[in-house]
A = this chain, B = another copy of it.
Amino acid sequence: MRKILLALTASLISASALAQDDNTANAPLTIVIHGGAGALAPGRYTADEEAAFQAKLNEALDAGYAILESGGSSLDAIEAAIVLMEDAPIFNAGKGSVFTRDGKNELDASIMDGSNRNAGAIAGVTNVKNPIKLAREVMENSVHVMFAREGAEKFAKERGLEFVKPKYFHTEKRWNSYKAGLEAEKQNKESSLPIDYKWGTVGALALDANGNLAAGTSTGGMTLKRYGRVGDAPIIGAGTFADNNSCAVSSTGHGEYFMRLTIARDICAQVEYGGKTVDEAAQDVIHNRLENFGGDGGVIVLGPNGDYAMTFNSAGMFRGVKNQAGVQEVAIYGE
């Protein structure tokens, strides 16, 4: 099993030195991913389960990185990585999405192109297999940024996206969590819900050979959510942000705090206006601002020079990075 290499608070590799040795770009090709943050303490998963998570994270990294290596765009790389995670039942996105209070699955996603700040987002779709593809379709083939619910599904139909029956998203593990959550709530008014009911997301960032950043995030949202709740994942500036002039961010955590703190934009604003590194900005936002608000979760951040951070204040965060400097690391727990 791969050794856990990443420190609890953040990993940062200054990769800009590579630029001089690289004749295809000024910064190293890089992909960074997450598969959600939560109460992921060692012992939570069996060795087999850990291996499955790590294999899928590596598979997503490899798929995205292969695209970057063949000269593909950062958008194509993050889409490929996120689709793999959406199709895996082990993450709370796509296939493995959690259930709403009504026992349904309602999926959110967003994507942003750092080269021109184009963006697309969708909230509350129930039958589109890969929400990240729909978010990209909104970005590239509509004059809008965000569509919700039935309207988003109508647009998906018109654009020819792949549909599935809602039961495609029904996994036994999530269904059992849903039933347990309902029961816990009945007994104790939410207080006995497992803390990680509030999060679970997948996301990816990439830096391509043209120096373009991209960010994407996809989720099934919060277990037992209701009232058409929209979390941070489809909100540009909260769950997702990308701008070649500052950085790219994908968030995972208790979404309401990420929305109030506009976490993705705040990190990049601290880089843009405050002169911070991506690591310093991520540290401030997660360990000062989010923590002071009582919120939990994490972010992945990638700068235009290839510097990256994977920062969280929860016990763990599924995460990984692969870059042109030969780094390939995945991790689950904090250390």
Hey, which bits of chain A sit against chain B, CB under 8 A? 112, 117-119, 121, 123-124, 142-152, 154-155, 225-231, 235-238, 241, 255-256, 259-262, 265-266, 269-270, 272-274, 293
Contact = CB atoms under 8 A, between A and B. Distances in A.
Given A145-B260, A259-B145, A227 B266 contact: no
B269 A265 contact: yes
A18 to B, nearest CB: 29
B260 A146 contact: no
**What is the interface of chain A mostly: helix, strand, loop, or mixed?**
mixed
B260 A227 contact: no
B144 A227 contact: yes
A131 to B, nearest CB: 14
A293 B261 CA distance: 25
A173 to B, nearest CB: 25
A227 B155 contact: yes
24 contacts: A112-B260, A117-B260, A117-B293, A123-B148, A123-B230, A124-B148, A144-B225, A144-B229, A144-B256, A145-B255, A147-B228, A148-B230, A149-B149, A151-B226, A151-B228, A151-B229, A152-B227, A235-B236, A235-B237, A237-B238, A237-B265, A265-B265, A269-B269, A270-B273
Given A238-B237, A260-B117, A260-B118, A229 B265 contact: no
A226 B119 CA distance: 17
A241 B237 CA distance: 12
A232 to B, nearest CB: 8
- Among all A-B residue pairs, the 3 with the closest Cβ atoms: A151-B228, A269-B269, A273-B273
A97 B272 CA distance: 37
A230 B238 CA distance: 15
B256 A145 contact: yes
A134 B146 CA distance: 21
Contacts of A273: 269-270, 272-274
Given A147-B230, A236-B259, A237-B259, 16 more contacts: A117-B260, A119-B259, A124-B149, A143-B256, A144-B227, A145-B256, A146-B229, A146-B230, A146-B231, A146-B259, A151-B227, A152-B228, A235-B235, A237-B262, A265-B266, A265-B269
